[in-house]
Amino acid sequence: MRLECALEVSHPGFVLGVAETIDLAGITAVMGVSGSGKSTLLRALAGLETPASAHIVIDGEVLLDSARGVNQPPYRRGIGYVFQDARLFAHRDVRGNLHYALHRARPGADAPAFDEVVAALDLAPLLGRRVGGLSGGERQRVAIARALLANPRLLLLDEPLAALDLKRKAELLPYIRQLPARFGIPLIYVSHAVEEVAQLADRVLILADGRVVARGLVHEVLERPEAEAVSGHFDAGVVLNGSVMGQVPEYALTEIAVAGQRMAVPRIEVAVGSPVRLRVRARDVAIALQRIEGVSIRNQLAAIVLRIAEDSAGANAEVLLALGPEEGGAHLRARITREAVATLGLAARQRVWALVKSVSFEPPR
């Protein structure tokens, strides 16, 4: 499925201008700081806001073409929308909220079945409960289920985790992650949280001041300075793809192969050979000229210096590293001091060791 989107939306003091063609498969994330135009873009796609000029086509069907006077109403676009605040019907229980969507579902033989959606989001224990008694995470699961039962061809999620605490976010992420594969419905997921995007997304668009400033696969885009501007100075990092090599039960560790090298992370319950995605922050990577014995940092990876960017007005420098004996392939970013760069004599194409102090990970979908 393909989305062709060329639009301009004007508000006092702000203009959103986007012209993108996106292959809709899996999860596409839209990132940006508050006020960059993320929600405005989703509202325009869904038909909740009419741009000054626009051409929006999904899978060959024209949803909006201002030049030709075409503007399909929201209920005919086949696009589901999950808001930050869930927006459930307070006078209905969970089952009633879900049945409402069934009655208004887009026709289609391959529509998600009620029982399958309930099972996918673990809603069976909640069906008889009033929505006022649900936790924030439970309400969002119900909202996602209701959107799925309307049989959308595309599902938009507008910062669905923003109002949740860290524990609730961690609980909800696995549910969202498995939706495209389970139901064959692509997602566009809006967030300004890099950790969420690193765990969920296949590709990313970054918005700044109403314009797309970066686009591409998640592991490529999150290495760029544009992602750092969204996330904040100290959250910059990379995404690494790896596979599970085995378990070390006596130390509750899991061994993971990354770029032909071994890393160990706190135990994850996945089978040997399973793919995993690791998020490594620049502030959690140190650099040494040789492998170090007698140190608590166990993940020490052979690397090559690709680029050094020094902040001439500050103390820090950022070093881009390639893992392995060759310069291609997986990368790491390390934030160290300019003094360390000088003391170690770091230079491009120099062979070094990257000491990784901490990672976050995503198990397979």
Q: What's the pLDDT tens digit per position in 19-64?
A: 999 999 899 999 988 889 999 999 999 999 989 899 999 989 999 9
Q: Which residue has the tokens 């166990």?
A: 298
Mean residue pLDDT across the chain = 89
Reduced DSSP (H G I as helix, E B as strand, rest coil) percent helix, strand, coil of the chain, to 5: 25, 40, 35
Q: Are residues 105 and 14 in the same domain?
A: yes
Quick one: pLDDT band at residue 279, thresholds 50, 70, 90? Answer: confident
Is the pLDDT at 206 greater than 80? The verdict is yes
DSSP class of 324: S
Q: Between 198 and 73, whose confidence is greater?
A: 73
Q: Are residues 223 and 252 in the same domain?
A: no
Q: Judge whether residue 233 has pLDDT over 50.
A: no
User: What is the structure's pLDDT at 86?
Assistant: 82
Looking at the fold, whether 132 and 256 belong to one and the same domain comes out as no
- Average pLDDT of 171-180? 89
Do 81 and 196 fall within a single domain? Answer: yes
Write the DSSP string, 52-70.
Answer: SEEEEEETTEEEEETTTTE
Residues 77 and 150 in one domain: yes
- Quote the Cα angle for 5-7-9, to 5°: 145
pLDDT at 90 over 70: yes
CATH code of the domain containing 152: 3.40.50.300
Last residue of a domain, one of 176, 201, 231: 231
Check whether residue 27 and residue 169 sit in a common domain. yes
Tens-place pLDDT, residues 136-155: 999 999 999 999 999 999 99
Which residues, in sequence order, are CB contacts of 345 under 8 Å at separation 6+? none
Would you state the pLDDT for residue 361? Answer: 64
The lowest-confidence range among 164-168, 212-216, 223-227 is: 223-227
Judge whether 258 and 240 are in contact, CB under 8 Å: yes
Domain span including residue 352:
239-362
The predicted structure's pLDDT at residue 327 = 56
Check if the beta carbon of residue 82 is closer than 8 Å to that of residue 144.
yes
- The SS3 call for residue 150 is coil
The one-letter amino acid at 246 = G
Q: What's the confidence (pLDDT) of residue 270?
A: 82
Q: What is the pTM of this model?
A: 0.78
Domain count, the chain: 2
Closest-CA residue to 330 (of 222, 196, 205):
222
Q: Mean of the pLDDT values across residues 335-347? A: 94
Mean pLDDT of 190-207: 88
Would the pLDDT of 365 be above 70? no
- Of 198, 231, 264, which marks where a domain is finished? 231
Residue 56 and residue 23 in one domain = yes
**With 70 as the cut, is the pLDDT of residue 235 above it?**
no
Of 231, 247, 273, which residue is a domain's last? 231
**Cβ–Cβ under 8 Å, residues 40 and 49:** yes
